[in-house]
A and B are shown apart, each in its own frame.
Chain A
């Protein structure tokens, strides 16, 4: 008797499991079909209809257009040193500024230390998302309009773009801290500022510095293109070489960009490995 009901229950379970699996398979198939339809539609619109195949011509002509870039204009390298340094320094200064400006956003955006959660927490989250969702080119356009052409607009654009990332990761680090030291400091009568300086900061500092260095590495890549909209650095040289159809010079600029990015990646990797 017991055995029979047990089997019956098991049968029901098997049925249910099988039915669930079929449902899940159907769901997956449906999602797959929708995605495939989207792909076909997008390919049709972007690649088939919108592309001027006459202009592109045959594969040989495409290769010919691409081969214009094959070659390095060595005479350009001496004049690239200044802009390369400028790009690197824009990234450094922008990251430093972003790291300073992100302090209020981090403070408000960490759930456990935010002063008044219902209001300050959403404000901080909005600030972070705003900063990350606007592309660095758009930030640069805005700051070029405000400050005029030059490196300063680039520094501000990089700083604004960095705030979101640094603040988000730092706020998450603060949310994960050990609350013991905070409680202990509060119990001795420390004020909010003292608690932050002596209980929270020492716990998150290595992580925050790691984040800042990682962001610096990304910012080198970004600052290399800000010149395209007038914010100084290698982007400006790239733009000039492109507009004067000096394609070998374009390759030289790209090599310079790659060089500083690899340098930055090596430095950031070395520092972060030593710190962790």
Chain B
């Protein structure tokens, strides 16, 4: 009798009618959408966004572009002086990314949960440090370093260093956390110390990924480098600031155009370099 009853009681209850909406999941998703929409409505209310004048403003946007920004002053950016600043910007991005990556290697090691020397002390410390580097915007770093070290390219390089370190450390730590632990275990079993495990067990596995991340970091650092000068840290941002303050809008348009072109070139270069590196694997 018991043998007869048990299969029947274990059989899953067949729902009477099929429904597109399953009870708890649909509730969560509707609640999520409701919260999202109410946040949007509250933001519009709190920030005093004039919805009624919004579409008129798009017309005004076109007007502003056509009247003030339209014939971009290309001659201004073809100046030798400006090209010098462009080279400065590239150097700043290059150095910032490089120093940042040098910091990243130990930082990512400490911030990768599977490889960190101490999960209790070093791991949270490294995580908080890399998170803070990432959380504070590069322009704020630039302002702080300018106020400590004065105008020039050094504060720009330092700001970009911290920015790149925070950016690359996260990606690189994730890469280290995804490695195959077999080789690490094998090395540990033979009595290798922390350094040896890192150099011979972990690094060969993440080498290619690290090169890709390094190139990407340079690309992102260049994008950031175009504006740190706006707050006094050298490079073409300073030109931008000067033109903005002088309300030379046609020059501003030309500078923005040059930034777009340079970023496009750097993006293409970085995509090409990353593809090459991936193929070499």
Listed in ascending order, the chain A residues whose CB lies under 8 Å from chain B are 38-39, 41-43, 45-47, 50-52, 55-56, 62, 65-66, 69, 85-86, 89-90, 92-93, 96, 129-130, 133-135, 137-138, 141-142, 145-147, 150-152, 155, 221-222, 224-225, 228, 232, 238, 242, 250, 254, 257-258, 261-262, 265
Contacts and interface: CB of A to CB of B under 8 A. Distances in A.
B46 A89 contact: yes
7 contacts: A50-B152, A56-B150, A89-B47, A130-B260, A146-B57, A254-B140, A258-B136
B157 to A, nearest CB: 6
Nearest to B140: A225
Contacts of B137: 221-222, 224-225, 257
B106 to A, nearest CB: 19
A46 B157 contact: yes
Given A65-B147, A133-B259, A146-B61, A265 B131 contact: yes
A19 to B, nearest CB: 18
A96 B151 CA distance: 38
State the majority secondary structure of interface residues on B.
helix
B152 A89 contact: no
Contacts of A96: 36, 40
Contacts of B148: 62, 65-66
Contact of A93 (B40, B132, B147, B267): B40
B224 interface: yes
Given A43-B95, A265-B135, 6 more contacts: A93-B49, A130-B260, A133-B263, A146-B60, A257-B135, A257-B137
Interface in B208-243: 223-224, 226-227, 230-231, 234, 240
- The interface centre, meaning the residue of B39, B94, B137, B259 with most chain A CB atoms within 10 A of its CB, is B137
A217 to B, nearest CB: 10
Interface string B129-158: 001101111011001100111111110110
Contact of B157 (A47, A135, A232): A47
Nearest to A222: B137
B64 interface: yes
Nearest to A65: B148
Nearest to A220: B135
Given A86-B46, A133-B259, A146-B64, A46 B223 contact: no
Interface residues of B, number: 59
Given A42-B91, A46-B154, A152-B49, A93 B260 contact: no
A147 B149 contact: no
Contacts of B61: 146
A150 B139 CA distance: 19
Interface of B: 36, 39-40, 42-44, 46-50, 57, 60-61, 64, 68, 88, 91-92, 94-95, 98, 131-132, 134-137, 139-140, 143-144, 147-154, 156-157, 223-224, 226-227, 230-231, 234, 240, 244, 249, 252, 256, 259-260, 263-264, 267
B249 A145 contact: yes
B136 A137 contact: no
B45 to A, nearest CB: 9
Nearest to B40: A96
Given A45-B91, A221-B135, A228-B139, A50 B47 contact: no
Contacts of A138: 226-227, 240, 256, 259
Given A93-B40, A228-B231, A254-B140, A38 B135 contact: no
A39 B47 contact: no
The 3 A-B pairs with the shortest beta carbon distances in the complex, nearest first, are A133-B263, A89-B43, A42-B91
A62 B158 CA distance: 14
Contact of B136 (A38, A50, A254): A254
